[in-house]
Amino acid sequence: MPKNHNQKSTVAPFFTPDWTPENVPHHPEYQDVYFNKNNGQEESHYVYATQNNLPERFAATKNQFIIAELGFGTGLNLFLINDLWQKNAPKNAHLTYISFELNPLDSATIQNALEPWYKKENSEFFTKFLAQYTLKPGWNTYEFPYLTVHLAVGDVADFLPRISEKMKQNQKVSAWLLDGFTPARNPKMWSDTVYKTMGATTAKNGTFATFTAAAAVRNGLAEVGFLVEKTKGYGYKRKMLKGMFNE
């Protein structure tokens, strides 16, 4: 009988980050910031939306689009992609967003980190999501008319292999956002388990994008069937990886 991860977990309810002088959250264990201190929203758009061709693919969606994200963090990618979905996708289409986070932040931390952007943009979804945002170890689900968010709180090695539970039969992931902390400092997020699960659960011509250009990541994804490409990174990052599943 499989474990019931909702009942048994050692994950702390919320994590308290450090803050940089620019008011960007910083993880002391991984010695890494949650997003670019100069323009995290622009970085997120460039790395994850542009390199996965999400605006164009959203516009072409007939029924369902599934995004999987490793590293929920502040929710920045979710809020950005929700905005793109509402602007580009057909009204009757549905987005499923599946994300994984070991050290979840509380709503006050998320609001502190992101409110300057979303207050300026008057994002209704930002407010509605935070109003629903309560967490328990294991799977947490948030429903909106055009969007379902599944957020797994716990070790990615435990929960990622169960990602198919959050998709209907025969559905697979359309796009991956690999947004864990840098592989050199967070190797568990960039493991063979992750790559093999991606290979088993990605739709043909599904894509991935990630800020890193590490050779181990490139090789791990290539071994499970992704055509991996190096491309220009954002800001000070010279290179990043993106690719398409071709198995």
Query: Which are the contacts of 155, defined by CB distance < 8 A and separation ≥ 6?
Result: 11, 102, 188
Query: Could you tell me where the DSSP H helices lie in 97-137?
Result: 107-121, 124-132
Give the pLDDT of residue 9. 40
Give the pLDDT of residue 121. 67
Give the pLDDT of residue 38. 81
* Interval 99-123 mean pLDDT: 87
Query: Among residues 212, 199, 216, 215, which one has the least CA distance to residue 242?
Result: 212
Cβ(11)–Cβ(157) under 8 Å?
A: no
Query: Look-up: residue for tokens 């025969």?
Result: 170
- Judged by DSSP in three states, 44 sits in helix
Give the pLDDT of residue 185. 84
Give the pLDDT of residue 122. 63
Question: What are 167-195's pLDDT values in tens digits?
Answer: 998 899 999 999 987 888 888 889 999 99
| pLDDT at residue 93 greater than cutoff 90 | yes
Question: What are 126-162's pLDDT values in tens digits?
Answer: 999 999 998 999 999 999 999 999 999 999 999 999 9
Q: At 27, give phi and psi (nearest 5°).
A: -90, 115
| pLDDT at residue 7 greater than cutoff 60 | no
Looking at the domain 46-245, which fold is it?
Rossmann fold (3.40.50)
Q: Is the pTM here over 0.85, yes or no? A: yes
Higher pLDDT, 241 or 235: 241
User: Cα 20 to the chain's mean position, in Å?
Assistant: 22
Question: What are 44-73's pLDDT values in tens digits?
Answer: 999 999 999 999 999 999 999 999 999 999
Which residue type does 20 have? T
User: Cα 145 to the chain's mean position, in Å?
Assistant: 20
- Judged by DSSP in three states, 236 sits in coil
Q: At 221, give phi and psi (nearest 5°).
A: -75, -35
Task: Identify the DSSP state of 22.
Answer: T
Query: Look-up: residue for tokens 């474990």?
Result: 3
CA neighbours closer than 13 Å in the CB half-sphere of residue 111: 10
Q: For the chain, report the end-to-end CA distance as a whole number of angstroms.
A: 31
| pLDDT at residue 8 greater than cutoff 50 | no
- Characterize the bridge pairing of strands 32-33 and 94-101: unpaired
Cβ(125)–Cβ(83) under 8 Å?
A: yes
The token pair that represents 157 in the structure block:
């090695």
Give the pLDDT of residue 236. 81
Cβ(59)–Cβ(109) under 8 Å?
A: no
- Judged by DSSP in three states, 92 sits in coil
